[in-house]
Protein backbone atom coordinates (compact mmCIF):
# COMPACT_ATOMS: atom_id res chain seq x y z
CA UNK A 1 0.00 0.00 0.00
CA UNK A 2 1.24 3.53 -0.80
CA UNK A 3 0.03 6.22 1.61
CA UNK A 4 0.41 10.00 1.24
CA UNK A 5 0.34 11.79 4.58
CA UNK A 6 -0.23 15.46 5.32
CA UNK A 7 -1.52 17.64 8.17
CA UNK A 8 -2.33 21.22 9.14
CA UNK A 9 0.03 21.66 12.10
CA UNK A 10 3.02 21.80 9.74
CA UNK A 11 5.75 19.35 8.72
CA UNK A 12 7.71 19.89 11.96
CA UNK A 13 4.83 19.03 14.32
CA UNK A 14 5.09 15.90 16.46
CA UNK A 15 1.78 14.49 15.20
CA UNK A 16 2.87 13.90 11.60
CA UNK A 17 6.14 12.31 12.70
CA UNK A 18 4.25 9.89 14.97
CA UNK A 19 1.79 9.17 12.14
CA UNK A 20 4.63 8.35 9.75
CA UNK A 21 6.23 6.04 12.35
CA UNK A 22 2.93 4.20 12.75
CA UNK A 23 1.95 3.87 9.08
CA UNK A 24 5.42 2.81 7.93
CA UNK A 25 4.75 -0.52 9.65
CA UNK A 26 2.06 -1.32 7.08
CA UNK A 27 2.82 0.78 3.98
CA UNK A 28 5.17 2.89 1.93
CA UNK A 29 4.65 6.45 3.21
CA UNK A 30 5.28 9.77 1.42
CA UNK A 31 4.98 12.99 3.44
CA UNK A 32 3.79 16.22 1.78
CA UNK A 33 2.89 18.79 4.43
CA UNK A 34 2.67 22.55 4.97
CA UNK A 35 5.95 24.26 5.85
CA UNK A 36 4.19 26.21 8.63
CA UNK A 37 1.14 25.74 10.84
CA UNK A 38 -2.17 26.09 8.94
CA UNK A 39 -4.81 25.48 11.61
CA UNK A 40 -8.34 26.75 10.88
CA UNK A 41 -7.55 27.50 7.24
CA UNK A 42 -10.52 25.35 6.21
CA UNK A 43 -10.46 24.25 2.59
CA UNK A 44 -8.37 27.18 1.35
CA UNK A 45 -6.30 26.63 -1.78
CA UNK A 46 -3.55 28.86 -3.16
CA UNK A 47 -4.34 30.33 -6.57
CA UNK A 48 -3.06 33.91 -6.45
CA UNK A 49 0.48 32.99 -5.43
CA UNK A 50 2.91 30.39 -6.71
CA UNK A 51 3.79 27.41 -4.54
CA UNK A 52 7.26 26.13 -3.73
CA UNK A 53 8.22 22.64 -2.67
CA UNK A 54 11.37 21.84 -0.70
CA UNK A 55 12.80 18.66 0.78
CA UNK A 56 12.56 18.54 4.57
CA UNK A 57 15.17 16.70 6.62
CA UNK A 58 14.92 15.45 10.18
CA UNK A 59 18.12 14.47 12.04
CA UNK A 60 19.98 14.65 8.72
CA UNK A 61 17.57 12.16 7.08
CA UNK A 62 15.03 12.93 4.34
CA UNK A 63 11.58 13.08 5.96
CA UNK A 64 9.28 14.50 3.29
CA UNK A 65 8.24 17.45 1.11
CA UNK A 66 7.36 20.85 2.60
CA UNK A 67 4.95 23.06 0.64
CA UNK A 68 4.47 26.74 1.49
CA UNK A 69 0.70 26.35 1.10
CA UNK A 70 -2.42 25.00 2.78
CA UNK A 71 -3.23 21.37 3.65
CA UNK A 72 -5.46 21.09 0.54
CA UNK A 73 -2.59 22.48 -1.60
CA UNK A 74 -0.28 19.79 -0.19
CA UNK A 75 -2.60 16.96 -1.19
CA UNK A 76 -3.24 18.35 -4.69
CA UNK A 77 0.48 19.02 -5.21
CA UNK A 78 1.46 15.68 -3.65
CA UNK A 79 -0.76 13.68 -5.98
CA UNK A 80 -0.30 15.76 -9.16
CA UNK A 81 3.38 16.76 -9.05
CA UNK A 82 5.23 14.66 -6.47
CA UNK A 83 3.73 11.15 -6.67
CA UNK A 84 2.35 11.84 -10.16
CA UNK A 85 -0.20 9.08 -9.50
CA UNK A 86 -2.96 8.42 -6.97
CA UNK A 87 -1.80 6.79 -3.73
CA UNK A 88 -3.92 4.02 -2.22
CA UNK A 89 -4.80 6.24 0.71
CA UNK A 90 -4.27 9.75 2.12
CA UNK A 91 -4.05 10.19 5.90
CA UNK A 92 -4.07 13.66 7.45
CA UNK A 93 -2.86 14.24 11.01
CA UNK A 94 -2.27 13.38 13.73
CA UNK A 95 -3.88 16.71 14.58
CA UNK A 96 -3.27 18.33 17.95
CA UNK A 97 -6.85 19.18 18.94
CA UNK A 98 -10.36 17.92 18.35
CA UNK A 99 -12.05 17.96 14.92
CA UNK A 100 -15.59 17.09 15.91
CA UNK A 101 -18.93 18.84 15.35
CA UNK A 102 -18.62 22.32 13.83
CA UNK A 103 -14.80 22.19 13.93
CA UNK A 104 -14.93 19.92 10.86
CA UNK A 105 -15.87 23.00 8.82
CA UNK A 106 -12.87 25.06 9.93
CA UNK A 107 -10.32 22.25 10.04
CA UNK A 108 -7.29 22.15 7.78
CA UNK A 109 -6.69 18.52 8.82
CA UNK A 110 -10.10 17.44 7.55
CA UNK A 111 -9.73 19.56 4.40
CA UNK A 112 -6.51 17.76 3.42
CA UNK A 113 -8.39 14.45 3.62
CA UNK A 114 -11.39 15.95 1.83
CA UNK A 115 -9.18 17.16 -1.02
CA UNK A 116 -8.09 13.52 -1.42
CA UNK A 117 -11.75 12.42 -1.42
CA UNK A 118 -12.46 15.01 -4.13
CA UNK A 119 -9.67 13.39 -6.14
CA UNK A 120 -11.33 9.96 -5.63
CA UNK A 121 -8.59 8.79 -3.25
CA UNK A 122 -9.79 7.16 0.02
CA UNK A 123 -8.79 9.26 3.02
CA UNK A 124 -8.65 9.45 6.80
CA UNK A 125 -8.38 12.58 8.98
CA UNK A 126 -7.12 11.76 12.47
CA UNK A 127 -7.02 14.01 15.51
CA UNK A 128 -6.26 13.67 19.21
CA UNK A 129 -8.74 15.75 21.18
CA UNK A 130 -6.13 17.69 23.16
CA UNK A 131 -3.95 20.65 22.17
CA UNK A 132 -1.07 19.09 24.12
CA UNK A 133 -1.55 15.42 23.17
CA UNK A 134 0.49 12.70 24.81
CA UNK A 135 -0.98 9.43 23.52
CA UNK A 136 0.11 9.24 19.88
CA UNK A 137 0.58 5.46 19.91
CA UNK A 138 -3.15 4.80 20.36
CA UNK A 139 -4.00 7.20 17.52
CA UNK A 140 -1.30 5.63 15.34
CA UNK A 141 -2.72 2.15 15.96
CA UNK A 142 -6.28 3.10 15.04
CA UNK A 143 -4.94 4.85 11.90
CA UNK A 144 -3.21 1.59 10.87
CA UNK A 145 -6.29 -0.48 11.66
CA UNK A 146 -8.53 1.77 9.57
CA UNK A 147 -6.00 1.93 6.71
CA UNK A 148 -6.10 -1.88 6.52
CA UNK A 149 -9.90 -1.92 6.73
CA UNK A 150 -10.12 0.60 3.89
CA UNK A 151 -7.70 -1.53 1.86
CA UNK A 152 -10.11 -4.44 2.39
CA UNK A 153 -13.53 -2.74 2.03
CA UNK A 154 -12.75 0.43 0.05
CA UNK A 155 -14.61 3.71 0.55
CA UNK A 156 -17.12 5.23 -1.88
CA UNK A 157 -15.59 7.98 -4.05
CA UNK A 158 -15.91 11.30 -2.27
CA UNK A 159 -16.12 9.91 1.28
CA UNK A 160 -13.50 10.06 4.02
CA UNK A 161 -13.32 8.90 7.61
CA UNK A 162 -12.95 11.62 10.23
CA UNK A 163 -11.41 10.03 13.32
CA UNK A 164 -11.09 11.61 16.77
CA UNK A 165 -9.16 9.91 19.55
CA UNK A 166 -9.34 10.95 23.21
CA UNK A 167 -5.91 11.71 24.70
CA UNK A 168 -5.92 8.64 26.93
CA UNK A 169 -3.83 5.53 27.46
CA UNK A 170 -5.09 2.43 25.67
CA UNK A 171 -6.69 0.91 28.77
CA UNK A 172 -8.58 4.12 29.55
CA UNK A 173 -10.26 4.25 26.11
CA UNK A 174 -13.80 2.99 26.58
CA UNK A 175 -14.61 1.95 23.03
CA UNK A 176 -14.72 2.74 19.31
CA UNK A 177 -17.89 4.13 17.71
CA UNK A 178 -19.15 4.95 14.22
CA UNK A 179 -20.75 8.37 14.70
CA UNK A 180 -22.46 11.32 13.00
CA UNK A 181 -21.13 14.89 12.90
CA UNK A 182 -22.33 16.77 15.99
CA UNK A 183 -24.01 20.15 16.18
CA UNK A 184 -21.97 21.64 19.05
CA UNK A 185 -20.82 25.14 18.09
CA UNK A 186 -18.58 27.90 19.35
CA UNK A 187 -19.84 30.80 21.38
CA UNK A 188 -17.48 33.27 19.70
CA UNK A 189 -16.05 36.20 21.57
CA UNK A 190 -13.87 38.89 20.01
CA UNK A 191 -11.65 40.20 22.76
CA UNK A 192 -10.98 43.90 22.24
CA UNK A 193 -7.46 45.22 22.93
CA UNK A 194 -5.51 48.41 22.29
CA UNK A 195 -2.13 48.23 20.49
CA UNK A 196 0.92 50.28 21.62
CA UNK A 197 -0.13 52.99 19.13
CA UNK A 198 -3.59 53.46 20.63
CA UNK A 199 -5.48 51.51 17.93
CA UNK A 200 -8.12 48.85 18.61
CA UNK A 201 -7.65 45.21 17.56
CA UNK A 202 -9.61 42.00 18.20
CA UNK A 203 -8.66 38.43 19.07
CA UNK A 204 -11.10 35.60 18.41
CA UNK A 205 -11.73 33.42 21.46
CA UNK A 206 -14.77 31.49 22.63
CA UNK A 207 -16.14 28.36 24.20
CA UNK A 208 -17.53 25.20 22.57
CA UNK A 209 -21.17 24.99 23.58
CA UNK A 210 -21.69 21.26 23.90
CA UNK A 211 -25.18 20.48 22.71
CA UNK A 212 -24.64 16.87 21.59
CA UNK A 213 -26.31 14.47 23.96
CA UNK A 214 -27.09 11.58 21.59
CA UNK A 215 -24.77 8.60 21.91
CA UNK A 216 -24.29 8.30 18.13
CA UNK A 217 -22.60 11.73 17.81
CA UNK A 218 -18.84 12.42 17.51
CA UNK A 219 -18.66 14.88 20.39
CA UNK A 220 -20.59 12.55 22.71
CA UNK A 221 -18.24 9.63 21.99
CA UNK A 222 -15.23 11.80 22.87
CA UNK A 223 -16.87 13.08 26.08
CA UNK A 224 -17.30 9.44 27.05
CA UNK A 225 -13.64 8.54 26.42
CA UNK A 226 -14.35 6.71 23.16
CA UNK A 227 -12.79 6.91 19.70
CA UNK A 228 -15.17 8.46 17.16
CA UNK A 229 -15.20 7.52 13.44
CA UNK A 230 -17.49 9.67 11.25
CA UNK A 231 -17.90 9.09 7.51
CA UNK A 232 -18.12 12.51 5.84
CA UNK A 233 -18.52 13.66 2.26
CA UNK A 234 -18.68 16.91 0.32
CA UNK A 235 -22.17 16.89 -1.15
CA UNK A 236 -23.57 19.83 0.81
CA UNK A 237 -27.06 19.72 -0.75
CA UNK A 238 -29.76 19.96 1.92
CA UNK A 239 -31.91 17.24 0.34
CA UNK A 240 -34.51 17.45 3.13
CA UNK A 241 -35.32 21.04 2.19
CA UNK A 242 -35.70 20.49 -1.57
CA UNK A 243 -39.43 19.59 -1.60
CA UNK A 244 -40.57 22.54 0.54
CA UNK A 245 -38.25 24.94 -1.30
CA UNK A 246 -39.87 23.91 -4.58
CA UNK A 247 -43.22 24.96 -3.10
CA UNK A 248 -42.04 28.58 -2.69
CA UNK A 249 -42.85 29.08 -6.34
CA UNK A 250 -39.59 30.78 -7.36
CA UNK A 251 -38.93 28.18 -10.07
CA UNK A 252 -40.09 29.28 -13.49
CA UNK A 253 -39.32 28.90 -17.16
CA UNK A 254 -38.66 31.80 -19.56
CA UNK A 255 -40.25 34.47 -17.44
CA UNK A 256 -38.69 37.87 -16.93
CA UNK A 257 -36.15 37.98 -14.07
CA UNK B 1 -35.56 43.77 7.50
CA UNK B 2 -31.91 44.19 8.51
CA UNK B 3 -29.41 42.55 6.15
CA UNK B 4 -25.66 42.09 6.71
CA UNK B 5 -23.74 41.78 3.45
CA UNK B 6 -20.24 40.46 2.85
CA UNK B 7 -18.24 38.87 0.03
CA UNK B 8 -14.88 37.34 -0.83
CA UNK B 9 -13.79 39.68 -3.64
CA UNK B 10 -13.13 42.49 -1.12
CA UNK B 11 -15.02 45.62 -0.04
CA UNK B 12 -13.90 47.56 -3.14
CA UNK B 13 -15.22 45.04 -5.70
CA UNK B 14 -18.11 46.05 -7.96
CA UNK B 15 -20.25 43.06 -6.93
CA UNK B 16 -20.78 44.10 -3.31
CA UNK B 17 -21.58 47.68 -4.30
CA UNK B 18 -24.23 46.45 -6.76
CA UNK B 19 -25.60 44.08 -4.10
CA UNK B 20 -25.93 46.94 -1.60
CA UNK B 21 -27.69 49.10 -4.20
CA UNK B 22 -30.18 46.28 -4.87
CA UNK B 23 -30.90 45.25 -1.27
CA UNK B 24 -31.27 48.82 0.01
CA UNK B 25 -34.55 48.94 -1.89
CA UNK B 26 -36.06 46.38 0.50
CA UNK B 27 -34.00 46.53 3.71
CA UNK B 28 -31.55 48.30 5.98
CA UNK B 29 -28.12 47.08 4.83
CA UNK B 30 -24.84 46.91 6.80
CA UNK B 31 -21.64 46.00 4.91
CA UNK B 32 -18.82 44.07 6.62
CA UNK B 33 -16.37 42.75 4.04
CA UNK B 34 -12.73 41.76 3.65
CA UNK B 35 -10.32 44.64 3.03
CA UNK B 36 -8.64 42.61 0.24
CA UNK B 37 -9.63 39.83 -2.15
CA UNK B 38 -10.09 36.46 -0.42
CA UNK B 39 -11.11 34.11 -3.25
CA UNK B 40 -10.66 30.36 -2.65
CA UNK B 41 -9.96 30.83 1.06
CA UNK B 42 -12.73 28.36 1.84
CA UNK B 43 -14.00 28.48 5.40
CA UNK B 44 -10.75 29.84 6.88
CA UNK B 45 -11.01 31.84 10.09
CA UNK B 46 -8.32 33.98 11.72
CA UNK B 47 -7.24 32.74 15.13
CA UNK B 48 -3.47 33.23 15.23
CA UNK B 49 -3.55 36.92 14.36
CA UNK B 50 -5.64 39.79 15.66
CA UNK B 51 -8.26 41.39 13.42
CA UNK B 52 -8.72 45.07 12.76
CA UNK B 53 -11.88 46.82 11.59
CA UNK B 54 -11.88 50.15 9.77
CA UNK B 55 -14.60 52.28 8.24
CA UNK B 56 -14.58 52.25 4.44
CA UNK B 57 -15.72 55.30 2.47
CA UNK B 58 -16.81 55.49 -1.16
CA UNK B 59 -17.03 58.89 -2.86
CA UNK B 60 -16.61 60.51 0.56
CA UNK B 61 -19.64 58.64 1.96
CA UNK B 62 -19.56 55.84 4.57
CA UNK B 63 -20.03 52.52 2.76
CA UNK B 64 -19.28 49.84 5.37
CA UNK B 65 -16.73 48.13 7.59
CA UNK B 66 -13.52 46.61 6.20
CA UNK B 67 -11.98 43.69 8.12
CA UNK B 68 -8.44 42.47 7.39
CA UNK B 69 -9.62 38.86 7.56
CA UNK B 70 -11.53 36.18 5.67
CA UNK B 71 -15.21 36.20 4.59
CA UNK B 72 -16.11 33.95 7.58
CA UNK B 73 -14.26 36.36 9.92
CA UNK B 74 -16.32 39.25 8.52
CA UNK B 75 -19.64 37.54 9.25
CA UNK B 76 -18.60 36.47 12.78
CA UNK B 77 -17.18 39.93 13.52
CA UNK B 78 -20.15 41.69 11.89
CA UNK B 79 -22.70 39.84 14.00
CA UNK B 80 -20.74 39.71 17.27
CA UNK B 81 -18.99 43.09 17.41
CA UNK B 82 -20.50 45.44 14.86
CA UNK B 83 -24.25 44.74 14.81
CA UNK B 84 -24.04 43.10 18.26
CA UNK B 85 -27.25 41.22 17.34
CA UNK B 86 -28.35 38.79 14.64
CA UNK B 87 -29.51 40.41 11.42
CA UNK B 88 -32.60 39.00 9.68
CA UNK B 89 -30.45 37.78 6.78
CA UNK B 90 -26.85 37.61 5.57
CA UNK B 91 -26.18 37.90 1.83
CA UNK B 92 -22.71 37.20 0.43
CA UNK B 93 -21.70 38.42 -3.02
CA UNK B 94 -22.26 39.29 -5.76
CA UNK B 95 -19.29 37.04 -6.54
CA UNK B 96 -17.42 37.44 -9.80
CA UNK B 97 -17.30 33.81 -10.94
CA UNK B 98 -19.31 30.62 -10.59
CA UNK B 99 -19.81 28.81 -7.27
CA UNK B 100 -21.36 25.58 -8.47
CA UNK B 101 -20.37 21.91 -8.03
CA UNK B 102 -16.99 21.41 -6.34
CA UNK B 103 -16.31 25.17 -6.25
CA UNK B 104 -18.72 25.40 -3.29
CA UNK B 105 -16.03 23.72 -1.16
CA UNK B 106 -13.33 26.27 -2.02
CA UNK B 107 -15.52 29.36 -2.12
CA UNK B 108 -15.09 32.24 0.28
CA UNK B 109 -18.45 33.66 -0.87
CA UNK B 110 -20.29 30.50 0.16
CA UNK B 111 -18.31 30.28 3.42
CA UNK B 112 -19.43 33.76 4.49
CA UNK B 113 -23.05 32.64 4.05
CA UNK B 114 -22.31 29.31 5.72
CA UNK B 115 -20.82 31.09 8.76
CA UNK B 116 -24.15 32.92 9.05
CA UNK B 117 -26.01 29.59 8.81
CA UNK B 118 -23.78 28.21 11.58
CA UNK B 119 -24.88 31.22 13.68
CA UNK B 120 -28.55 30.35 12.91
CA UNK B 121 -28.99 33.38 10.64
CA UNK B 122 -30.67 32.70 7.25
CA UNK B 123 -28.24 33.35 4.40
CA UNK B 124 -27.81 33.60 0.65
CA UNK B 125 -24.58 33.30 -1.36
CA UNK B 126 -24.93 34.85 -4.81
CA UNK B 127 -22.54 34.61 -7.75
CA UNK B 128 -22.53 35.58 -11.42
CA UNK B 129 -20.91 32.80 -13.43
CA UNK B 130 -18.37 35.02 -15.18
CA UNK B 131 -15.08 36.48 -13.95
CA UNK B 132 -15.90 39.70 -15.80
CA UNK B 133 -19.63 39.99 -15.04
CA UNK B 134 -21.75 42.64 -16.67
CA UNK B 135 -25.33 41.82 -15.60
CA UNK B 136 -25.47 42.77 -11.93
CA UNK B 137 -29.07 44.05 -12.09
CA UNK B 138 -30.46 40.55 -12.77
CA UNK B 139 -28.45 39.09 -9.86
CA UNK B 140 -29.54 41.98 -7.62
CA UNK B 141 -33.20 41.35 -8.48
CA UNK B 142 -33.08 37.63 -7.72
CA UNK B 143 -31.25 38.43 -4.42
CA UNK B 144 -34.12 40.77 -3.46
CA UNK B 145 -36.76 38.25 -4.50
CA UNK B 146 -35.14 35.48 -2.43
CA UNK B 147 -34.60 37.79 0.57
CA UNK B 148 -38.34 38.51 0.58
CA UNK B 149 -39.19 34.81 0.15
CA UNK B 150 -36.92 33.94 3.10
CA UNK B 151 -38.61 36.68 5.15
CA UNK B 152 -41.93 34.97 4.36
CA UNK B 153 -41.02 31.27 4.61
CA UNK B 154 -37.87 31.25 6.77
CA UNK B 155 -35.02 28.76 6.31
CA UNK B 156 -34.20 25.87 8.66
CA UNK B 157 -31.31 26.68 11.02
CA UNK B 158 -28.03 25.73 9.39
CA UNK B 159 -29.25 25.99 5.78
CA UNK B 160 -28.39 28.63 3.18
CA UNK B 161 -29.29 29.21 -0.45
CA UNK B 162 -26.42 29.09 -2.92
CA UNK B 163 -27.49 31.07 -5.98
CA UNK B 164 -25.70 31.19 -9.34
CA UNK B 165 -26.80 33.56 -12.07
CA UNK B 166 -25.63 33.35 -15.70
CA UNK B 167 -24.09 36.58 -16.97
CA UNK B 168 -26.98 37.34 -19.31
CA UNK B 169 -29.54 40.06 -19.85
CA UNK B 170 -32.92 39.43 -18.26
CA UNK B 171 -34.58 38.34 -21.53
CA UNK B 172 -31.81 35.83 -22.27
CA UNK B 173 -32.21 34.01 -18.93
CA UNK B 174 -34.18 30.83 -19.65
CA UNK B 175 -35.54 30.12 -16.16
CA UNK B 176 -34.98 29.68 -12.44
CA UNK B 177 -34.40 26.21 -10.96
CA UNK B 178 -34.04 24.64 -7.53
CA UNK B 179 -31.02 22.37 -7.93
CA UNK B 180 -28.59 20.00 -6.20
CA UNK B 181 -24.84 20.52 -5.87
CA UNK B 182 -23.10 19.08 -8.92
CA UNK B 183 -20.14 16.73 -9.07
CA UNK B 184 -18.10 18.51 -11.76
CA UNK B 185 -14.49 18.84 -10.58
CA UNK B 186 -11.24 20.48 -11.59
CA UNK B 187 -8.58 18.74 -13.55
CA UNK B 188 -5.75 20.42 -11.65
CA UNK B 189 -2.49 21.27 -13.32
CA UNK B 190 0.52 22.74 -11.54
CA UNK B 191 2.42 24.74 -14.12
CA UNK B 192 6.14 24.58 -13.37
CA UNK B 193 8.21 27.75 -13.83
CA UNK B 194 11.70 28.94 -12.93
CA UNK B 195 12.15 32.20 -10.98
CA UNK B 196 14.88 34.78 -11.86
CA UNK B 197 17.16 33.06 -9.31
CA UNK B 198 16.93 29.66 -10.95
CA UNK B 199 14.49 28.14 -8.44
CA UNK B 200 11.37 26.15 -9.38
CA UNK B 201 7.87 27.34 -8.48
CA UNK B 202 4.36 26.15 -9.37
CA UNK B 203 1.11 27.89 -10.35
CA UNK B 204 -2.20 26.09 -9.93
CA UNK B 205 -4.28 26.07 -13.10
CA UNK B 206 -6.77 23.59 -14.52
CA UNK B 207 -10.04 22.99 -16.28
CA UNK B 208 -13.48 22.26 -14.86
CA UNK B 209 -14.43 18.78 -16.06
CA UNK B 210 -18.15 19.11 -16.60
CA UNK B 211 -19.73 15.81 -15.64
CA UNK B 212 -23.18 17.06 -14.63
CA UNK B 213 -25.75 16.05 -17.18
CA UNK B 214 -28.87 15.80 -14.99
CA UNK B 215 -31.27 18.71 -15.33
CA UNK B 216 -31.66 19.09 -11.54
CA UNK B 217 -27.96 19.97 -10.99
CA UNK B 218 -26.51 23.49 -10.46
CA UNK B 219 -23.91 23.24 -13.21
CA UNK B 220 -26.48 21.98 -15.73
CA UNK B 221 -28.86 24.87 -15.00
CA UNK B 222 -26.05 27.36 -15.63
CA UNK B 223 -25.01 25.63 -18.87
CA UNK B 224 -28.59 26.06 -20.02
CA UNK B 225 -28.73 29.79 -19.24
CA UNK B 226 -30.83 29.35 -16.10
CA UNK B 227 -30.48 30.68 -12.55
CA UNK B 228 -29.62 27.90 -10.07
CA UNK B 229 -30.73 27.93 -6.41
CA UNK B 230 -29.24 25.13 -4.27
CA UNK B 231 -30.08 24.70 -0.58
CA UNK B 232 -26.89 23.67 1.23
CA UNK B 233 -26.05 22.89 4.84
CA UNK B 234 -23.01 21.96 6.91
CA UNK B 235 -23.85 18.50 8.19
CA UNK B 236 -21.19 16.57 6.27
CA UNK B 237 -22.13 13.13 7.63
CA UNK B 238 -22.31 10.55 4.86
CA UNK B 239 -25.52 8.96 6.18
CA UNK B 240 -25.72 6.51 3.28
CA UNK B 241 -22.42 4.91 4.32
CA UNK B 242 -23.24 4.50 8.04
CA UNK B 243 -24.91 1.05 7.82
CA UNK B 244 -22.16 -0.61 5.75
CA UNK B 245 -19.43 1.06 7.82
CA UNK B 246 -20.97 -0.44 10.95
CA UNK B 247 -20.58 -3.88 9.35
CA UNK B 248 -16.78 -3.48 9.16
CA UNK B 249 -16.65 -4.54 12.80
CA UNK B 250 -14.36 -1.78 14.05
CA UNK B 251 -16.89 -0.68 16.67
CA UNK B 252 -16.26 -2.19 20.08
CA UNK B 253 -16.65 -1.52 23.77
CA UNK B 254 -13.82 -1.59 26.32
CA UNK B 255 -11.40 -3.59 24.25
CA UNK B 256 -7.73 -2.73 24.03
CA UNK B 257 -6.90 -0.23 21.28
In a domain, B203, yes or no: no
CA distance A160 to chain B (A): 9
Distance CA A68, CA A10 (A): 10
Quick one: pLDDT at residue A257?
65
- Cβ distance of A81 and B146 shorter than 8 Å: no
> DSSP assignment, residue A248?
T
A200 closest CA partner among B53, B77, B80: B53
Q: Does A47 touch chain B (CB under 8 A)?
A: yes
Q: Do A44 and B106 touch (CB under 8 A)?
A: yes
> Residue B55 in contact with residue B65, Cβ under 8 Å?
yes
Residue A35 pLDDT > 70, yes or no?
Answer: yes
Residue A207 scores a pLDDT above 70: yes
Chain A residues within 8 A of B236 when measuring between CB atoms: 104-105, 181, 232-234, 236
Residue A209 has a pLDDT of 87
With bands split at pLDDT 50, 70 and 90, how would you rate the model's confidence at A119? very high
Check CB contact under 8 Å for A231 and B248.
no
Q: In this complex, how many residue pairs, one in chain A and one in chain B, have their CB atoms less than 8 Å apart?
A: 243
State how far the Cα of B30 lies from the Cα of B10, in Å rounded to an integer. Answer: 15
Residues in chain B closer than 8 A to A39 (CB atoms): 47-48
Mean pLDDT of A184-204: 92
Of A159, A204, A241, the CB nearest to B231: A241
Residue A190 is assigned to a structural domain of this protein: no
Q: Does B194 touch chain A (CB under 8 A)?
A: no
Residue B131, chain A, CB below 8 Å: the answer is: no
**Where does B82-135 have alpha helices with state H?**
103-106, 108-118
| Mean pLDDT within A207-228 | 91
Q: Could you tell me the pLDDT band of residue A162, with boundaries at 50, 70 and 90?
A: very high
Q: State mean pLDDT over A96-110.
A: 94
Give me the residue from A138, A244, A257 closest to B138, CB to CB: A257
| Nearest-angstrom CA–CA distance, A93 and A3 | 13
- Are B131 and B95 in contact, with CB atoms under 8 Å apart? no
DSSP-derived letter for residue A237 is B
**Cα separation, A239 vs A236, whole angstroms:** 9
Percent with pLDDT over 90 in chain A: 86
- Residue A92, Cβ neighbours under 10 Å: how many? 36
Q: Do A47 and B159 touch (CB under 8 A)?
A: no
Distance between CA atoms of B89 and B77, rounded to whole angstroms?
Answer: 15
Domain presence at residue A187: no
Residue B6 and residue B92: Cα distance in Å, rounded? Answer: 5
The half-sphere exposure of B256 on its side-chain side, counting CA atoms within 13 A, is 1
The DSSP H or E segment spanning A67 is strand A61-67
At B213 the pLDDT is: 84
For B79, which DSSP code? I
Query: What is the ipTM, given to two decimal places?
Result: 0.90
Q: Does A111 touch chain B (CB under 8 A)?
A: yes
Q: Residue A41: pLDDT above 90?
A: no
Answer yes or no: do B242 and A178 touch at CB < 8 A. Answer: yes
Cα maximum dimension of chain B: 69
Do residue B45 and residue A45 have CB atoms under 8 angstroms apart?
Answer: no
Would the CB atoms of B156 and A189 count as touching at under 8 Å?
Answer: no
pLDDT of residue B256: 63
Tell me the residue range of the domain where A102 lies: 2-182+213-246
Average pLDDT, chain A: 94
Residues in Cβ contact with A49 at an 8 Å cutoff, skipping those fewer than 6 apart = none
Mean pLDDT in residue range A16-39: 96
- Is residue B197 situated within a structural domain? no
B196 vs A251: CA distance, rounded Å: 54
pLDDT tens series, chain B, 257 aa: 999 999 999 999 999 999 999 999 999 999 999 999 887 778 888 888 899 999 999 999 999 999 999 999 999 999 999 999 999 999 999 999 999 999 999 999 999 999 999 999 999 999 999 999 999 999 999 999 999 999 999 999 999 999 999 999 999 999 999 999 999 888 989 999 999 999 999 999 988 888 888 889 999 999 999 999 999 999 999 999 999 999 999 999 876 66
* Number of domains chain B is built from: 1
Q: Say whether pLDDT at A59 is over 90.
A: yes
Q: What is the mean pLDDT of residues A237-255?
A: 92
Q: Does B193 touch chain A (CB under 8 A)?
A: yes
Query: Cβ A248–B149 below 8 Å, yes or no?
Result: yes
Question: Hey, are the CB atoms on A102 and B114 less than 8 Å from each other?
Answer: no
State whether residue B84 sits within 8 Å of chain A by CB. no
DSSP classification of residue B81: I
- CATH code at position A152: 3.40.1210.10
Find the distance separating the first CA and the last CA of chain B, reported in whole Å.
Answer: 54
- Is some CB atom of chain B closer than 8 A to the CB atom of A131? no
B242 neighbourhood in chain A, CB within 8 Å:
178, 180, 231
Q: What is the DSSP letter of A225?
A: T
Residues B16 and B71: their CA atoms lie apart, in Å, by 12
Tell me, yes or no, whether A175 lies in a domain.
Answer: yes
The rounded distance, in Å, linking the Cα atoms of A151 and A89 is 8
Q: Classify A231 as helix, strand or coil.
A: strand
Residue A177 has pLDDT above 90, yes or no: yes
Does the CB of A85 have a partner CB in chain B at under 8 Å? no
Handedness of CA B59, B9, B112, A97 (dihedral sign): negative
Q: Is residue B200 part of a domain?
A: no
Does A251 fall in a domain? Answer: no
Q: Would you tell me which residues 149-188 of chain A have a C-beta closer than 8 angstroms to some C-beta of chain B? A: 149, 153, 155-156, 158-159, 170-171, 173-178, 180-181, 183, 185, 188
Decide if A215 contacts B209 (C-beta within 8 A): no
CB contact under 8 A, A190 and B76: yes
The answer to the question of residue B196 being in a domain is: no
Nearest residue to B216 (alpha-carbon basis) of B160, B174, B177, B161? B177
Q: Averaged over A1-22, what is the pLDDT?
A: 97
Amino acid sequence: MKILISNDDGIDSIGIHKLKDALEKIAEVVVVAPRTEQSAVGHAITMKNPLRVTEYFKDGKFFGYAVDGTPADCVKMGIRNILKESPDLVVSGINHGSNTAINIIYSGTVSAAREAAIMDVPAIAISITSHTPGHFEEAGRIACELALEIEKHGLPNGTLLNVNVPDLASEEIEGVYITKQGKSKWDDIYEERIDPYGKKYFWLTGNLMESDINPDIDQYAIKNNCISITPIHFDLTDYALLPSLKKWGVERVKEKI
